[in-house]
Structure 1
Amino acid sequence: MRVFPTSLLALAVVAAFSQEGRTAETTILGTGSAFAQPIYSRWASEEAKETGLHLNYQPSGSGIGQNQVLKGLTDFGASDVPMDDDKLKQGDILQFPTVAGGYAVVVNLPGVRSNELRLTADALADIFMGNIRRWDDARIASLNPGLKLPKMEIALLYHAGGSGGTYALSRYLSKASEAWRKRMGVGMTLDWPVGAGVKGSFGAATTTPVTAGSIAYAEFSYAVANHLTTIQLRNKAGRFVAPSGETFAAAVESADWKSAAHFAVDLTDTPGEQSWPIVTPTFVLVPMGSHKAGTSEAVMKFFSWAFAHGDDAARSLQYVPLPAPIKAEIMTTLGK
């Protein structure tokens, strides 16, 4: 992938896009990733004042985002899971990431505060597969000497339906746990042997606080907004790290962007001492056929403006902006 070292080209493309955008108001329709909804809404509210572009975005889930754009029912789809190459070709779809962010593992344990509990990928996999059923299990205790673990059953909460969070979690666990890879694999939906399904990160964030002994996974902004108790995970470098903007950024910076076809970079379990292991980009899927030419151009104006002006908003919502050279490469693609 050819990378441009400067953002001057990106700014030029934004200027060209924005000039026409100010002449008339346009509404674009998007659906998909719930993970992306907070930042897309923030960008929309800030951008409409400058460009006249208005966004109607429905956080329906990554699977629906992919299906809707393939069927031509939306101006763009949004997915935390990169689309297969065959589907990109089939639908004549342009794919690019917009921001990255992390999923936190959250718990509701009496007497345990945020980032006091530590787990490895093997232990987390055994919890989510139902092999570890109590919080005072010896395997958890051995990772947490000195921490008073409650003598209670584990209440597992997982994302029901197609979920980018499930995909990111399962991708990480499949890399780090052979048992998980053989039994569960990677997917937006999984055949969970135990636990109860909730509606994505929102469901995890609202159900965990009222379910004693629970463990779940949720996009980090939901964990922060709902004051959830997060845990530390052991990363690829063997260090226990807590979820934060800094550890997400470390994962983004250490990823192999250059060899990722269609920008479909994998940010899970990346190298680096500070890298959080469950990080994902979120992708935009834009149909490029002639029947969508007008709306596709408007979609690209929207995200071109966001790349040039939206980094501070992204950071305030616990996302990580893309590295400048990657944004410049994407902007070149959009400009074509």
Structure 2
Amino acid sequence: MWKNIVKSFLALALAFSAASGSAYAETALTGAGATFPHPLYSKWFRDYQAVDSGVTFSYDAQGSGEGIRRILAREVDFGASDKFLSDEELNKAPGKLLHIPTVMGAVAVTYHLPGIGSGLKLTPQALAGIYLGKVTKWNDPLIAKANGKLKLPAEEIVVVHRSDASGTTSIFTDYLSAVNASWAKNIGRGTTVAWPAGIGAKGSNSVVKKIEETPYSIGYVEIAYALENELDTAALKNQAGKFVKPTMLSTRAAAVQGMKKLKVKEGSEPDYRLSLVNQPGKDAYPVVGLTWLLVYRDQQDPVKGRKLVEFLTWQLKKAEKMTSTLHYTPLPDTWSGQVENTIRSIVAPQQ
């Protein structure tokens, strides 16, 4: 009899434990969006589960455009974008949508030039000319003039761009618009544009693959993708007239200048929607962007809302120390208090 009672008790205890563990592990936070920060976010999500094993993350890296679409439709708990939303887009949201800046990164111009290797230099005029379809050969005078020591081939340039709605494209076209009047007037900036030349590839990984497989090609990807795949990257001529490679230091130099534009009025929330391209300073790399997590201030689910705030606070205070190993640049210390206040403004309903 006692054996049966003990067995029943153990069975109930195990069932209760399993049910409790299952319930505890079922706080699943879903997100979608940018491929630009995907390598870093993936690490954050893995590492955070050692802090709170009751949270799981599902992130669909389908580009900033998709992240914006899904968060506006409330299909995910957070969106991720390298393009900030306009006032018009924010007004269409079904609630107050916050831009929470996470890190900064450089968009690298990558290329595949057999027999040349690293060392390519590009001026704004040359790069815009390539993507406008006006500079079509690698030995074009606009390229050759800045690369006197390189024996550039008389080969057609294979131009590669993103085919999906991409925050990386938004940063890249923001730069081209800033440095080339023709691009600004006829093409403009955005997550998608009417490309005058080139072939499209969906996602950063596809751009990397296309560059690797295609001799005499040129493309653009977030610096982490270029370095992880050992792609050659061009030095770009910046506003100060210096040719600069994309590095953490050159990214930070650009960010320091650009973030001077952050205005905080007393009694109002900071507006983190900043462009960091083509900044002054001899050490500044010219194609740099912020990336944001898009989160509703008024959460609908009490548990998810609380868990999301806890994760966002953790990444702000702890996770930025991980950025350097994946080639991202953390936010400046002067921003920490302001961003933390923004995170604290998120409201989860009472259970």
TM-score (norm 2): 0.85
Within the candidate set 286, 294, 319, 1:285 is matched to: 294
- CA distance in 2 between partners of 1:57 and 1:302 (Å): 14
Aligned match of 1:57: 59
- Alignment-derived partner of residue 228 in structure 1: 231
Counterpart selection for 1:307 from 311, 316, 333: 316
| 8 A contact 2:169–2:191 mirrored in 1 | yes
The offset of 1:168, in angstroms, is: 0.6
Counterparts of 1:230-269 in structure 2, within 5 Å, are 230-255=233-258, 256-259=260-263, 262-269=271-278
Distance in 2 (CA, whole Å) between partners of 1:236 and 1:212 is 30
Q: How many residue pairs end up in the alignment?
A: 313
Q: Which of 316, 330, 343 matches 1:321?
A: 330
Aligned to 1:233, the other structure's residue is in SS state: strand
Match of 1:180 in 2: 183
Q: Give secondary structure in 1 for the equivalent of 2:168.
A: helix
How far apart are the structure 1 equivalents of 2:189 and 2:183?
9
1:30-61 C-alpha deviation (Å, 9 max, x unpaired): 11011121111111111111123322111011
Within 5 Å, give how 1:99-114 maps onto structure 2.
99-114=103-118
Cα distance in structure 1, aligned partners of 2:163 and 2:184: 20
Native 8 Å contact 1:130 1:193 kept in 2: yes
Task: Tell me by how many angstroms 1:292 deviates.
Answer: 4.2
Q: What's the counterpart of residue 222 of structure 2?
A: 219
Q: Which amino acid aligns with 2:295?
A: V
Task: Give the CA deviation at 1:301.
Answer: 1.3
2: CA distance, partners of 1:293 / 1:185: 41
Q: Does 1:82 align with 2:84?
A: yes
1:146 to 132, 145, 149: 149
Structure 1 residue 210: Cα displacement: 1.1
Question: RMSD of the alignment, in Å?
Answer: 1.6
Distance 2:204 2:287 in 1: 14
**What is the rounded CA distance, in whole Å, between the counterparts of 2:227 and 2:299 in structure 1?**
42
- In structure 2, stretches of 5+ residues that fail to align are 1-22, 265-269, 346-351
CA-CA distance at 1:126 after TM superposition? 0.5
Q: Which amino acid aligns with 1:86?
A: E
Kindly state the Cα deviation for residue 143 of structure 1 after the two structures are TM-superposed: 1.4
Structure 1 stretches lacking a partner, 5+ long? 1-22
Q: d(CA) in 2 for partners of 1:28 and 1:257?
A: 33
The amino acid across from 2:172 in the alignment is L
Q: Is the 8 A contact 1:165 1:188 kept in 2?
A: yes
Tell me which of 71, 78, 87 is aligned to 1:69: 71
Q: Tell me the TM-score normalised to structure 1 length.
A: 0.89
